[in-house]
């Protein structure tokens, strides 16, 4: 369940603006506010199946965009690479502190760390 929720909220973060206001509202209630289909249906004055149809349609629209663009896949890949860069920089700094004490090496490591941090934002 948690993986599905994470995946859907990632899709929403990237592609939510493609949805209608009603799709956004129901999606938000279901995934972010953790309301059941029945609770959403009662609040909206429609059937549970009607709510489910709106949410499934919204999920389909966003998944189709991800299939076409691959933005989330590339984002996750980039995040993995940035984390590896940050780990390598920390190791370089540690090694430099213990063995070399090279000021220029530390400056370069700091520059790389700052650029990686900028990519994370």
pLDDT (mean) for 90-99: 96
Query: What is the C-alpha separation between 53 and 64, in angstroms, rounded?
Result: 16
Q: Where are the domains of the chain?
A: 2-69, 74-120
pLDDT digit string, tens, across residues 44-81: 999 999 999 999 999 999 999 999 999 999 999 999 99
Query: What is the C-alpha separation between 115 and 20, in angstroms, rounded?
Result: 37
Question: Measured in whole angstroms, how far is the alpha carbon of residue 94 from the centre of its chain?
Answer: 31
pLDDT for residue 7: 95
Query: What is the C-alpha separation between 11 and 89, in angstroms, rounded?
Result: 31
Q: CATH fold of 2-69, please?
A: Arc Repressor Mutant, subunit A (1.10.10)
- Could you say which DSSP state residue 37 is in? H
Looking only at Cα atoms, what is the longest distance across the chain? 70
């Amino acid at each position: 369940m948690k993986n599905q929720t994470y995946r859907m909220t990632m899709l929403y973060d990237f592609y939510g603006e493609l949805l209608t206001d009603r799709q956004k509202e129901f999606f938000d209630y279901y995934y972010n506010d953790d309301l059941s289909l029945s609770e959403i249906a009662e609040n909206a004055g429609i059937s549970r199946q009607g709510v489910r149809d709106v949410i499934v349609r919204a999920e389909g629209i966003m998944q189709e965009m991800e299939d076409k663009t691959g933005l989330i896949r590339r984002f996750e890949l980039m995040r993995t690479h940035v984390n590896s860069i940050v780990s390598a920089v920390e190791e370089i700094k540690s090694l430099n502190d213990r063995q070399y004490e090279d000021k220029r090496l530390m400056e370069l490591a700091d520059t790389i760390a700052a650029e990686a941090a900028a990519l994370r934002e």
